[in-house]
Amino acid sequence: MHRNASQLFIRLFAPLLIALLFIGSSSPVAAQSAPQVVNIYSARHYGALEPVFQRFTQETGIEVRLSQGTAQSLVERLRAEGRQTPADILFTIDAGGLWTAAELGLLQPINSAVLRQNIPANLRDPQNRWFGLSQRARVIVYNPTKVSPTELSTYAALGASKWRNRLCFRPSSHIYTQALVSSFIGLHGEKVTEQQIIRPWVRNNPKFIDSDSRIVETIAAGGCDVGITNHYYVAQQLARNPNLPVKVFFPNQQESGTVVNLSGMGVTAAARNRDNAIKLIEWLSVTGQGQGATPDTLSGGNYEFPANPTAPVNPIIIGFGPFKIDPQPKSELGRFQPAAIKLLERSGYR
Amino acid sequence: MRPILRLLPIGIALAVAAPLLLIAAALLRPSGESWAHLWETRLLEMLTQTMLLVCAVGLGTLVLGTGLAWLVSAYSFPGRALFAWLLVLPLAMPGFVLGFVFMATFDYAGPVQSALRAWLGPTLWFPEVRSLGGAAIVLTLAWYPYVYLLARAAFAEQAASTLDAARAMGSSRTHALFRLVLPLARPSLVAGVTLVMLETLTDFATVRYFNVLTLSEGILRVWEGMMDRETATQLAALLLLVALGLILLERILRGAARYTQLSGAPRIAPLPLHGWRAAVATGACALILAVAFVLPAAQLVAWALAEQRSATMPTADGVAERYIVVSLGLAAGAAALAALCALLLTTGERLGGGRVQRGAARLATLGYAMPGAVVGVGVLTLLAAFDHAIIARGLVGALLLTGSLTGLFYAYVVRFLAVAYGSVDASMEKVTPRLVEAARCMGASQGRIIWRIHTPLVRAGLLAGAMLVFVDVMKELPVTLLLRPFGMDTLAIWTYMLAAESFWQAAAIPALIIVLVGVLPIALLVRTGERVAVR
């Protein structure tokens, strides 16, 4: 009667295991042999992506496959997978992640005349391992019924005691905060950043809200008077409700300029569909395809500034007015990221 | 005992423990500079916040889960039969979904505070929603069904004669509850609360919404932000120690006590409540159900309908269907695998009887205490090493495990085996040793004992375990984020991505599907459970 039990297990277990191994081992192989695909590790959230990629697939016949995650976890994944990675492209929402991936040797240089022409030198890696495709300004947002723009000037000035209990910030766990502080360190060094910007901010007892959209909504509702967000979150809200009491202020115009980050792509060092990957990035860099003001483009779909200077800009964000951009190389947004996190933590920033 | 039955549990335990041992090994390595930095700054905060949250949620679910279970088991009042199973429904609602619904409803810009301000003026004080208290309330409401289910099962299995004896000796029903019923149900209650506490330890999505810095959140911060795998792994190892402590505590609390009940004895007869008592009982059940499930679900429905009317997020055709198929497939596969492994472990433990098998079971259930991200990366590192070894031998393409379904299922089993195990083990505990001894006396082999005694008796436990794993995988985030193959995006990932950017209206659609899909197996389980109880 021994047999009964083990037969039960074998009967239940063996087919499952065999099926699993079969499906399991065959899926990456299938991904490889499929004729026209490009696999992307993407840190951008879905919605803004799908229309533009659908258009690319319609025009080229190349299927776009996305796998989502935070830039950091995707870089970790690329690192662990090494030469075996199924990803052809790393797509991030900040330059820091691309810079880190390039530093780790996870991206390869792409020699493309199209990209050199379409993407300005300051929006791509000097060694052409990554390319910015859209730009996002980290701006001050305020409620015009409570704050006059004449009261605003720089990021650092939000440390003044008059802003006590009136600020809304994104927590230090988010890449946008880390990138901003990383750029402060690049500009002023750690000591000044900590003593003259971050600690004064923290003394003002800001509310920490882990969503740029919710910060904008809270400011509109009167929960805070001033906050820092990416410009397009304000644009999204204004597109839905033009009367919302929120306005954009571009900080540091008398100094070095407003910090602008980028969303961009790099081809992985182990890309199996390298040609398709290059084709996609080139396609996205062309005005009227990936670049433009309409919802079926990469920049327009999300109210971002296009990377290609010839592309039209959405009228809502033109309405925010012209502004000076901080000229630091975008790599600085990644270089000081670990230092920025430590600085934020020891300063008591949430 | 056949060697395969003896060796399989050990094999399972080793496979499950390998990625965790990889991480535990970090404790042996000398700590780096960032470890010192952590110690100086936020380590203490992480530890205290974690402990506070774990205790608050553990206590909250113990009181809520046990209280409701006792109410529907020992009393009869209008709607009791319905509430008895409806109260399990919050289990279908992922913690982070409940979290974002609460956040959107109760924070400053949300409708509740906006309405209050419009009514009472703009200087209205309202407790801060983004806080440890807020997180504890949400997690308690999301997870009390774990305790409720196990407590109700324990009460249902208690023979009425015990309670009747106590009543005959003059103790009140309440007195009997605290002196007799609860102590008898202790193994189940402790198992439920431990499950909840371990869930709390590994949650990262909900605490992130509520600005609570726990160890799990800290690990992700260090790992992702500083790219500091060493420190993150060391923090993870620390978390492993905390979890080990909890599991040890569970063992001590369960103790050597072995309560077996006469099977087939009549169950506790519910005492009818009348008048205001009945109204209070019905009201309490309705209130909890409304707050934990009905109202959040209604809000999701409202958002989903609004999204249908005017899309804030364009979605390609067929995407939703694919998410559903992927989610269901992954959850079903993982549930079946975990239940099988749990059965093998528990029977091996009892029949093998050796210290080795018992140790194997302990080892194999540690995954549940680990944050999903850590399990994910542990598995990823292990599989990558395996793949590299294969490639080094020139067998490219033969069997690549990273980025494959095998890797994903492997990680799910590592992560959730404890859920299935806990459920199977608890029902196994009710198999009286005498029954087994009797069978042995009559010359039954061990295989026959498993087949004819253990399997039928733990069937309810197996099913419950598989169901819990199914629902858990439906809701799972970090492991899936890290290990899923291309095109294998789940409903949970879809929801989380949208909710993280406050696209609540768009996130409501996949969230609702998770809830609906989760409700089905739960209803199934509760109905089966009822049948078993009746028999």
B396-429 pLDDT, tens digit each: 554 567 667 888 999 999 999 988 888 888 777 7
Q: Do B315 and A341 touch (CB under 8 A)?
A: no
pLDDT for residue A9: 43
Across B264-268, average pLDDT: 62
Higher pLDDT, B441 or B319: B441
**Which residue of A2, A29, A77 is in closest CB contact with B482?**
A77
pLDDT of residue A67: 79
Give the burial string for A100-130 (b: 16+ CB within 10 Å, else e): bbbeeebbbebebeebeebbeeebbbeebbb
Q: How confident is the model at residue B2 (pLDDT cuts 50, 70, 90)?
A: low
Contact status of B455 with chain A (Cβ, < 8 Å) = yes
Across A21-35, average pLDDT? 46
Among candidates B37, B445, B481 on the partner chain, residue whose Cβ is nearest the Cβ of A342: B37
Q: What is the pLDDT of residue A220?
A: 94
Residue extents of the structural domains in chain B? 1-13+311-535, 31-257+273-305
Cα–Cα distance for residue pair A25/A21, rounded to 1 Å:
6
User: Minimal Cα distance from A346: which residue of B?
Assistant: B41
Angle value at C-alpha A52, between A94 and A289, nearest 5 degrees: 95
Nearest to A338 among B2, B226, B448 (CB): B226
pLDDT at residue B406 in the model: 86
Which residues are within 8 A (CB) of A250 and not within 5 positions of it... i.e. 6 or more apart?
A137, A139, A140, A258, A320, A321, A323, A324
pLDDT at A320 over 90: yes
The residues near B355 (Cβ < 8 Å, ≥ 6 apart) are none
> Does residue A16 carry a pLDDT above 60?
no
Whether B329 contacts chain A with CB within 8 A:
no
User: Which residues of chain B make contact with A27, given a CB cutoff of 8 A?
Assistant: 403-405, 485
pLDDT of residue B218: 82
Give yes or no for A11 touching B (CB within 8 A).
no
From B107, B486, B501, residue closest to A39, measured CB to CB:
B486
Distance from CA of A155 to the nearest CA of B (A): 22
- Mean pLDDT confidence for B49-53: 93
Q: What is the pLDDT of residue B31?
A: 63
CA A267/CA A279 separation, integer angstroms: 11
pLDDT for the residue B353: 63
Whole-number mean pLDDT of chain A? 87
- Retrieve residue B299's tokens: 């809000």
Q: Lowest mean pLDDT: which of A169-173, B51-55, B308-312, B437-441?
A: B308-312
User: With contacts defined as CB-CB under 8 Å, which chain B residues touch A25?
Assistant: 398-401, 404, 406
Which residues, 6 or more positions from B45, have their beta carbon under 8 angstroms from its beta carbon? B213
**Chain B residues within an 8 Å CB radius of A77:** 380, 482
User: How do beta strands A89-92 and A63-68 pair?
Assistant: unpaired
Stronger pLDDT, B157 or B382, i.e. the higher one:
B382
Q: Which of residues 284-323 of B touch A (CB under 8 A)?
A: 312-316, 319
Query: Chain B, 180-219: which have a CB under 8 Å from a chain A CB?
Result: 208-209, 211, 213, 217
Judged against a pLDDT cut of 80, whether residue B198 lies above it is answered with yes
User: A127 vs chain B: nearest CA distance in angstroms?
Assistant: 23
Same fold across B1-13+311-535 and B31-257+273-305: yes
Average pLDDT in the B85-111 region? 89
**What letter would DSSP give residue B442?**
T
Q: What is the pLDDT of residue B535?
A: 30
Confidence at residue A25, expressed as pLDDT on a 0 to 100 scale: 43
Radius of gyration of chain A (CA): 23
Confirm or reject contact between A212 and chain B (CB < 8 A): yes
Distance of CA B535 to the CA centre of its chain: 28
Residue of B124 and B100 predicted with greater confidence? B100
Q: Does A18 touch chain B (CB under 8 A)?
A: no
pLDDT in tens, A238-276: 998 999 999 999 999 999 999 999 999 999 999 999 999
- How does residue B315 score in pLDDT terms, banded at 50, 70 and 90? low
Domains of chain A plus CATH, in order, are: 23-135+262-312 (3.40.190.10), 136-259+323-346 (3.40.190.10)
Reply yes or no on whether the pLDDT at A28 is more than 60: no
Highest mean pLDDT among B211-215, B300-304, B350-354: B300-304
pLDDT at site B160: 67
Beta bridge partners of A5: none
Of A62-71, A322-331, B100-109, the poorest mean pLDDT is in A62-71
Helices B132-157 and B182-202 meet at what angle, rounded to 10?
Answer: 140
* pLDDT higher than threshold 60 for residue B231: yes
Do the chains contact at A76 and B227, CB–CB below 8 Å? yes
Q: Tell me which CATH code domain B31-257+273-305 carries.
A: 1.10.3720.10
d(CA B14, CA B20): 10
Of B409, B447, B502, the CB nearest to A214: B502
The Cα B356–Cα B321 span in angstroms is 46
pLDDT at B290 (0 to 100) = 94
On whether any CB of chain A is under 8 Å from the CB of B239, the answer is: no
Q: List all residues of chain A from 246 to 305 with a beta carbon under 8 Å from chain B.
A: 295
Any bridge partners for residue A142, and if so which?
A226, A247
Q: Is the dihedral of CA A89, A94, A98, A101 positive or negative?
A: negative
Best of A342, A343, A347, A350 to substitute, by most chain B Cβ atoms within 10 angstroms, is A342
Count interface pairs A-B at CB distance under 8 A.
217
Least confident range of A8-12, B168-172, B490-494: A8-12
pLDDT at B219: 79
- Whether residue A24 is predicted with pLDDT greater than 50 in this model: the reply is no
Please provide the average confidence, as pLDDT, over all residues in chain B. Answer: 81
Lowest model confidence (mean pLDDT) among A214-228, B329-343, B365-379: B365-379
Residue A96 to residue A101: CA distance in whole angstroms: 9
Q: What is the pLDDT of residues A84-138, one digit of tens each?
A: 788 999 999 989 899 999 999 999 999 999 999 999 999 999 999 999 999 999 9
Parallel, antiparallel or unpaired: strands A260-267 and A89-92: antiparallel
Q: Would an 8 Å CB–CB cutoff place A31 in contact with chain B?
A: yes
In the predicted structure, residue B387 carries a pLDDT above the cut 70: yes
As given in the structure block, the two tokens for residue B397 are 């393409």
- Answer yes or no: is pLDDT of A23 > 50: no
CATH superfamily of B1-13+311-535: MetI-like (1.10.3720.10)
The yes-or-no verdict on residue B269 having pLDDT over 80 is no
| pLDDT tens digits for range B9-29 | 888 888 888 888 877 776 776
Give the chain B residue nearest A44 (alpha carbons): B497
Rounded Cα gap, residues B467 and B473, in angstroms? 10
Question: Residues 25 to 64 of B: which have CB under 8 A from any A CB?
Answer: 34, 37, 40-42
**Cβ-defined contact of A86 to B226 (cutoff 8 Å):** no
Give the model's pLDDT for residue A30. 42
Task: Specify the pTM.
Answer: 0.82
Q: Is A256 helix (H, G, I), strand (E, B) or coil?
A: coil
Contacts of B34 in chain A (CB under 8 A): 342
